[in-house]
C-alpha cells in the first residue's frame, strides 16, 4: 500500500472484491418480457479502466503502517479525535463489539463500513483485545450506550489460527499465552500444545503450559513430558482447580499482565479462573461421560479485568488448531529442539522425514530429540489437523 503523492495523508487501499456492481446487465429475459428490446440496443462490449465501479482500489485518508507479522490492514485511518475516544474491545458478538472506554463505561459498537470493506485475510476485522477509536451515537434509551468503531490501532501479541481458509484472530494485544490442558478427562493432546507453542513464538508471546486436573492421575507419570518442555525453556505448571494445587502460583502468573487462557473444551479453563478470582463467576459444565470430551460453555473470547491487576481473556474451547501463515519449510525453525540439528543435514532442503544422512532423524534415533516431539513435527509437515 503506497502513499499517494497527490495529497498528504492519502493512501491507495485495496477493497474486497464483492463491493462492485455487475459490469453488465444479466436480466435480459425479464426486460424482454416486460419491454422488449426495440428502444435500447444491447451493449456489445465492456470498457475497463483504472477508475469507476470495476476498480478494487480507492484513495482514502490515512497513513500507511508496517504491521510486520501482526494481522492488520496496513493503514491507520484518519479520524476526528475531538469526537472519537479510545477504547478496548472486550468481546465480539457477530456485528456488535463490546468496547470499554478509559472510565470503565462499556459501549455496544458497530464497525464502520470502510473497515469492513478493506481487503484482508481476516475472518473478522475486529477482535477481542483490539485497541480502537470509536464515537458514541445518541440513543433513545439512556441505559444503552452505543457507538461506531472508526479505527483499529496497530496490533501486537496476536493469537491466530486458520479457519475456513481465512485468518481467525482469537485475541490480540496480550503478553502471555496460558496453554491449558488436562491430565485426564479429556486426555492430554501434546500435538495441540506444540501447535500453540509455535503460534506464541511466532507472535512474540510468552507461552506457559498449564496441566490441570492433576488430582486425577499420578503426577510422576508426567515428569518425562515436563522434562522435555522444560529443557527447551518452556515453563510448565501442574494445577488442580478442585484441590487448589498450584493455584497460588497460577494467580501470581496472571497478576498485572494481559493473558489469554486457551485449550480444549473441558480442560477447566473457566474453572481455574474462578478458583483464583471468585468474583468472575464464569459458567462451567462437566465433561461428557460418553465421549470424555468437553462441552462448549464459553462461546466467545472475552477480556475480563483481573482482581490482581491486568486482564485475562477466557476463550472458547479449541478442538482444532491449524497454524496460520506457516509453511512446511518454516516449521523446523519453530521447533527449539530440532533447530540446532537442521544445519548438519546432508541436503540443504532436507524435510527431515525420509532423506538419508539427516541429522534430525539421527538425533531422534540416538534419543537426543524426543520421539513424540518428532512425530508432532511430521504431522505438521504433512498438514494434519489436531
Evaluate whether 298 touches 272 at the Cβ level (below 8 Å): no
pLDDT for res 6: 43
- On the CB side of 4, how many CA atoms lie within 13 Å of its CA? 16
Please give the residue that has the higher pLDDT: either 163 or 37.
Answer: 163
pLDDT for res 13: 77
Q: Whole-angstrom Cα distance, residue 187 to residue 318? A: 14
Q: What is the pLDDT of residues 160-192, one digit of tens each?
A: 998 888 899 999 999 999 999 999 988 899 999
Q: Whole-angstrom Cα distance, residue 96 to residue 80? A: 22
The residue behind cell 501442574 is 238
Q: What is the pLDDT of residues 255-302, one digit of tens each?
A: 999 999 999 888 999 999 999 998 887 877 665 444 445 455 677 889
Mean pLDDT of 336-357: 94
- The architecture that CATH gives domain 162-314 is 3-Layer(aba) Sandwich (3.40)
Judged by average pLDDT, the poorest of 3-7, 94-98, 117-121, 122-126 is: 3-7
Residue 228: partners with Cβ closer than 8 Å, 6 or more residues away: 337, 370, 372, 373
Which residue ranges make up each domain of the chain? 77-152, 162-314, 328-381
Q: What is the pLDDT of residues 200-253, one digit of tens each?
A: 999 999 999 999 999 999 999 999 999 999 999 999 999 999 999 999 999 999
- The architecture that CATH gives domain 328-381 is Orthogonal Bundle (1.10)
Mean pLDDT of 372-376: 95
Q: Given phi > 0 = left and psi -120 to 50 = alpha, else beta, which region is 337? A: alpha
Q: Is the pLDDT of residue 384 over 50?
A: yes
Residue 292: partners with Cβ closer than 8 Å, 6 or more residues away: 185, 186, 187
Q: Given 2.40.50.140, 3.40.50.10090, 3.10.100.10, 3.40.50.620, which CATH number is that of 77-152?
A: 2.40.50.140
Please give the residue that has the higher pLDDT: either 347 or 39.
Answer: 347
Its pTM stands at: 0.82
Mean pLDDT of 76-90: 91
Q: What is the pLDDT of residues 129-158, one digit of tens each?
A: 999 999 999 887 777 899 999 999 999 999
Mean pLDDT of the chain: 84
Identify the three-state secondary structure at position 331: helix
What confidence tier does 7 reach under pLDDT thresholds 50, 70, 90? Answer: very low
pLDDT for res 294: 45
Q: Is the pLDDT of residue 16 over 60?
A: yes
Q: Is the pLDDT of residue 49 over 70?
A: no
Query: What secondary structure letter does DSSP report for 246?
Result: T
C-alpha distances (whole Å) from 333 to each of 5, 102, 292, 317, 338 are 40, 40, 35, 28, 8
Q: Is the pLDDT of residue 48 over 60?
A: no
Amino acid at each position: 500500500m503506497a502513499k499517494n503523492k497527490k495529497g498528504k495523508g492519502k493512501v491507495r487501499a485495496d477493497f474486497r472484491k464483492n463491493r462492485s456492481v455487475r459490469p453488465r446487465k444479466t436480466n435480459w429475459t425479464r426486460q424482454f418480457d416486460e419491454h422488449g428490446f426495440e428502444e435500447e440496443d444491447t451493449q456489445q462490449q465492456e470498457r475497463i479502466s483504472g477508475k469507476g465501479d470495476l476498480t478494487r482500489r480507492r484513495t482514502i485518508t490515512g497513513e500507511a503502517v508496517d504491521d510486520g507479522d501482526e494481522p492488520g490492514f496496513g493503514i491507520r485511518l484518519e479520524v476526528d479525535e475531538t469526537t472519537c475516544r479510545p477504547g478496548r474491545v472486550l468481546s465480539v458478538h457477530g456485528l456488535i463489539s463490546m468496547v470499554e472506554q478509559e472510565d470503565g463505561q462499556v459501549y455496544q459498537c458497530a464497525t464502520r463500513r470502510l473497515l469492513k470493506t478493506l481487503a484482508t485475510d481476516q475472518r473478522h476485522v475486529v477482535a477481542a483485545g483490539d485497541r480502537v477509536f470509536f464515537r458514541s451515537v445518541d440513543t433513545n434509551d439512556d441505559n444503552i450506550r452505543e457507538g461506531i468503531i472508526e479505527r483499529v490501532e496497530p496490533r501486537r501479541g496476536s493469537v491466530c489460527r486458520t479457519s475456513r481458509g481465512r485468518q481467525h484472530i482469537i485475541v490480540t494485544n496480550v503478553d502471555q499465552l496460558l496453554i491449558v490442558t488436562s491430565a485426564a478427562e479429556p486426555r492430554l493432546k501434546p500435538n495441540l500444545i506444540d501447535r500453540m507453542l509455535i503460534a506464541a513464538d511466532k507472535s512474540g508471546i510468552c507461552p506457559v503450559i498449564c496441566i490441570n486436573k492433576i488430582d486425577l492421575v499420578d503426577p510422576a507419570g508426567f515428569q518425562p513430558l515436563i522434562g522435555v518442555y522444560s529443557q527447551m525453556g518452556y515453563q510448565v505448571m501442574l494445577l488442580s482447580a478442585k484441590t487448589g494445587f498450584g493455584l497460588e502460583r497460577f494467580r501470581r502468573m496472571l497478576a498485572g499482565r494481559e493473558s489469554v487462557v486457551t485449550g480444549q473444551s473441558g480442560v477447566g479453563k473457566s474453572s481455574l479462573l474462578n478458583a483464583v478470582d471468585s468474583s468472575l463467576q464464569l459458567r462451567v459444565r462437566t465433561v461428557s461421560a460418553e465421549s470424555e470430551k468437553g462441552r462448549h460453555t464459553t462461546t466467545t473470547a472475552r477480556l475480563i479485568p483481573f482482581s490482581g491487576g491486568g486482564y485475562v481473556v477466557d476463550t472458547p474451547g479449541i478442538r482444532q488448531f491449524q497454524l496460520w501463515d506457516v509453511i512446511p519449510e518454516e516449521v523446523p525453525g519453530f521447533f527449539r529442539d530440532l533447530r540446532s540439528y537442521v544445519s548438519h543435514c546432508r541436503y540443504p532442503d532436507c524435510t527431515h522425514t525420509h532423506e538419508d544422512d539427516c541429522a534430525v532423524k539421527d538425533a531422534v534415533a540416538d534419543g537426543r530429540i524426543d520421539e513424540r516431539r518428532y512425530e508432532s513435527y511430521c504431522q505438521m509437515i504433512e498438514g494434519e489437523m489436531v
